Chains A and B, each alone.
Chain A
Amino acid sequence: MKYLTILVSFIFSFSILQASEVSEWFEKESNQFLEIMNNNEGTESENYEKYKSFVNKNFAIKSIAYGLIGENIIKKSKDHELSLYLEVFTDYLIKTIYKLANSNSSSTIKLKDVDIKDDIYIIRSEISFKKSSANLYWKVINTGSSYKIIDVIVENTSYFVTKKSEFNKILRKNRGSLESLIIQIRKI
């Protein structure tokens, strides 16, 4: 019984420690994001570069990109096709975040709480704009050396789920051709 209590206490304190670590990371990165978002002084290309480095640093781009097309497509695609897809998708993700951030200024992000399920941290936050606010959830993994975002959920809409529906439709329509998907992504 004594050992069990020690074990439970150990697990519990470990979880708290992990949650506080991820909270710290989140506070730091979200502040940095807001700084970029609310700073309109640089040129368009300078600002774009800032978003680019933010996305490259904090998003699990490969996991998201591969998750969107699924195992079957990955297996049947050639290496050069996959690396081109990854490159095009990264650019698309940066542009999406850049556009989203540029259409909303003067925001604040407030951390609400952190939950852990199957080694994935679910960070609940609230983003407030001048007129409105929205619940913003971040699904984050610990890669060992850093934390990486695998999904962003605005109110109830998941970026990953929505894009997966869109990409799957394009792939189904084009008999699983990754090349066609790349062309479509470039068009957006």
Chain B
Amino acid sequence: MKNHFKAILLIIFLSFFQISKSYSIEDASVSGVSYDQIYDPLEPINRAVLNFNFFIDDIAIRPIVKTYKFIAPEPVEKGVSNFFSNLKEPIRTVSFLFQGEFYKSFNSIGRFTINTFTSLGTFDLASRVGMEKNETDFGITLAKGGVSSGPYIVIPIIGPSNLRDFGGDVVEYFVDPISNNVANREYLAIGSGLNERVEIDEQLDKVREASSDRYEMIKSIYYQNRNAQLEEEYIQNLPVPKIYIE
């Protein structure tokens, strides 16, 4: 109960902080975003944290991920990924409810029920019967509620975020019905984090080798992916170059 109270206080604080500031350059919830002018006043600190994250990744996380990917057969990898994704369905249900997306909320809890009872979430049977997975989180809920994204931040170990999405993550941590009812929730959080790292392993390898500035690249990719979750016609609204005669 005490934890819930702290979370509510924190989110109220974050909401006030973000609503009270007006950011003219960037608002991730609307189209026409200028991706190369993302509000980033903490860039020097963020860059240092990103370098630290890459260092930790190189010496500890990446070897674990590569070994796991080498050893685990594809069905096992998929099963683990499904398991952790399924654990997030209850919090997705709550998020969709707050967003007024009742159909999606019902779909999420339905998916959780079917997948948990048939395979403990390791096999996505629900998708096979037409109940497709819909991604969302509390950060998206706050964005849809009009909370601006605030400054871009890189969180130690966790990675790219912004103040709004980080606030959403904190709330999720405290109100998630699954992790709140598990004895050692830290292990669950570590497992889930490692699974997410496995899922982006190939992309991260490409960032390492194909970028002139990996900080900018990761920031841009982060905002593009968040906007894709917020905008209906995201692909259509992406900026395109002016056409020159070739």
Residues on A close to B: CB < 8 A? Answer: 60-64, 66-68, 71, 96, 99-100, 115, 117, 120, 122, 131, 137, 139, 141, 143, 148, 150-151, 153, 155-158, 160-162, 164-170, 184-185, 187-188
- B225 near A157 (CB under 8 angstroms)? yes
**Cβ-defined partner of B234 (8 Å) among A60, A156, A165, A169:** A156
Q: Is chain B's interface secondary structure helix, strand, loop, or mixed overall?
A: helix
Q: Which of B12-20, B60-68, B166-174, B212-220 makes up part of the contact surface?
A: B212-220
A157 touches B224 (CB 8 A): yes
| A157 and B221 form a contact (CB under 8 A) | yes
Chain B minimum-CB-distance residue to A59:
B246
Whole-angstrom CA separation of A67 from B211 in the bound complex: 18
Given A122-B235, A164-B239, A156 and B213 contact (CB-CB distance below 8 Å): no
Instruction: For the complex, give the distance between the alpha carbons of A122 and B236 in Å.
Output: 8
Secondary structure at chain A's binding surface: helix, strand, loop or mixed?
helix
Beta-carbon contact of A150 and B217 below 8 Å: no
B238's partner among A143, A158, A166, A185 (CB-CB below 8 A) is A158
B74 CB-CB contact with A under 8 Å = yes
Binding site for A on B (CB under 8 A): 35-36, 38, 74, 206, 209-213, 216-217, 219-221, 224-225, 227-228, 234-236, 238-246
* Interchain nearest-CB distance for B57 vs A (Å): 19
A68 to B241 CA separation, bound complex (whole angstroms): 7
Give the residues in chain A near B224, CB-CB below 8 Å: 156-158, 161-162
Q: Which chain B positions have C-beta within 8 A of A151?
A: 238, 240-241
Tell me whether B225 and A62 are in contact (CB under 8 A): no
B35 adjacent to A165 (CB under 8 Å): yes
Complex: A133 Cα to B217 Cα, angstroms = 22
Q: Which residues of B contact A141 (CB under 8 A)?
A: 243
Do A67 and B240 touch across chains, with their CB atoms under 8 A apart? Answer: yes
Knowing A96-B210, A157-B225, the reply to whether A166 touches B240 (Cβ < 8 A) is no
Q: Tell me how far the C-beta of B108 lies from the nearest C-beta in chain A, rounded to whole angstroms.
A: 21
Min CB distance B95 to A, Å, is 19
B68 to chain A, nearest CB (A): 14
Q: A162-B220, A165-B216, A169-B36 are in contact. Are A60 and B246 (CB under 8 A)?
A: yes
